[in-house]
């Protein structure tokens, strides 16, 4: 069984009026469940490609979800359309293996998060099985990258066999 976004997000103490950012949102596998939880808030769906964002827009419209804003951008290059300290929660799922400049990505996430904001990282465990063949990061390396970007590790969430879930708070 793969990660269930709804069940994973329920493990966090998310307030319905929060502003969140989903980095590498793709077509919305995590964005839409997050938007349902943050019913009085806003979810910024960030992706480097237009096509998945277009698909996400259609899915949101079909589901009657109106609190998602699409942001075409590259986390490694910075997100000038997202104000510093504007988000309460950040989510990055199954994309770390695609990011070359990981320190810059974590610094940019820290920039857009408020002090005390939470970051959830869900990614592939190293080793054989499903998922990408190369570029997987062990949880220990993610903890180091997050620490270097001014995050404190708070907990590991049980997600499923092939993934880890790590929660951090921005200092």
Find all residues with CB under 8 Å of 32, minimum gap 6, and list them.
56, 59, 60, 63, 65, 68
Range 117-135 average pLDDT: 88
Residue 6, pLDDT above cutoff 60: yes
Look at the block and give the residue holding tokens 């307030």. 15
Range 98-121 average pLDDT: 97
How would DSSP label each residue in 7-45?
HHHHTS---TT-EEEEET-TTTTTHHHHHHHTTTSEEEE
Q: List the domains of the chain with CATH numbers.
A: 5-170 (3.40.50.150)
Range 102-122 average pLDDT: 98
Return the minimum-mean-pLDDT range out of 8-12, 65-69, 134-138.
134-138
Q: What is the pTM of this model?
A: 0.95
pLDDT for position 40: 98
Residue 85, pLDDT above cutoff 90: yes
Range 52-56 average pLDDT: 98
Name the pLDDT band for 135 (thresholds 50, 70, 90).
Answer: confident
Question: Which run of H or of E encompasses 6?
Answer: helix 5-10
Range 15-19 average pLDDT: 98
């Amino acid at each position: 069984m793969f990660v269930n976004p709804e069940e994973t997000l329920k493990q966090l103490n998310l307030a319905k009026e929060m502003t969140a950012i989903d980095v590498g949102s793709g077509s919305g596998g995590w964005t839409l469940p997050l938007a349902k939880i943050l019913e009085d808030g806003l979810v910024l769906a960030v992706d480097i490609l237009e096509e998945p964002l277009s698909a996400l827009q259609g899915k949101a419209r079909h589901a009657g979800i109106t609190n998602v804003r699409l942001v075409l951008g590259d986390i490694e290059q910075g997100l000038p359309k997202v104000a510093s300290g504007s988000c309460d929660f950040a989510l990055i799922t199954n994309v770390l293996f695609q990011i070359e400049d990981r320190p810059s990505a974590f610094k940019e996430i820290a920039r857009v998060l408020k002090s005390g904001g939470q970051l959830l990282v869900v990614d592939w465990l190293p080793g054989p099985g499903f998922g990408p063949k190369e570029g997987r990061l062990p949880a220990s390396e993610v903890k180091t990258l997050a620490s270097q970007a001014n995050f404190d590790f708070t907990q590991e969430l049980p997600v499923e066999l092939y993934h880890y879930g790590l929660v951090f708070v921005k200092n």
